[in-house]
Amino acid sequence: MSITLYDLVGSNSEIKFSPFCWRARMALLHKGVDFTSEPWRFLEKDAIAESGHQAVPVINDSGTWVGDSWQIAKYLDEKYPEKPLFKGAEGEAHAQLVDALCNTQIFPAAVAMAIYPVSQILDEENQAYFVETREAKLGAKLSEINAEPEEGKANLAKALIPFETMLNNSQFVGGDEPTYADYLLFGIIKWIDLVAGYRPIDDSSAVGQWFVRLENMYGGNGANAPKVAQS
């Protein structure tokens, strides 16, 4: 039996936009295990109730439920040790550092580019839920947070400087080949790329070239993912 990945979608079930689900998706692709993607929306909590989680990503591996993108990656390394995502304690520590950088530097810039566009691709009921919960968490109207494209791209590029510096000398965040550290950052940028309606990074930059490399891996899964039409 293949693994089922519960994957966040909007009114168009083809656009799978969650940064955390993309982390899980890339981890599954990295492992080369068979999996299917099950579209899931914010209010469909009953569909994953057995997992003990109320949000995705969640996987069901022949009756074993695992939620949270980091825990999914850990589970995959334990259950399917071929092609490790973390490569030992040092690799996990490296990924934790990248995760901290993503949380403190990259996500704030990404939210301003992606959070309002996400609200615009949801059906009416899920949109109401999303707007209410996110505005309460952020303390502002989503429309007020929404960055203009050039401003958003400039702020993101500034936040990405540590990665730009590193990727000038390395093919991947993980070194010569991708590790889970790569997918932590990739998921955030892919989130913006899918919903914003414009390319969030310069493909000719070191980060841009890295992003394109990852998009085209695993049969072009990232490159071919349906997205909001770009202007």
Closest CA to 55 of 68, 36, 38, 72: 68
Residue 230: predicted pLDDT: 81
pLDDT of residue 231: 67
Order of strands across the sheet that contains 64-67: 35-40, 3-8, 58-61, 64-67
Q: Which amino acid is present at 120?
A: Q
pTM for the complete prediction? Answer: 0.97
CA distances from 14 to 10, 100, 182 (A): 8, 30, 24
Tens-place pLDDT, residues 174-191: 999 999 999 999 999 999
Tens of pLDDT, residue by residue over 60-83, are 999 999 999 999 999 999 999 999
Per-residue model confidence as pLDDT tens digits over 102-138 = 999 999 999 999 999 999 999 999 999 999 999 999 9
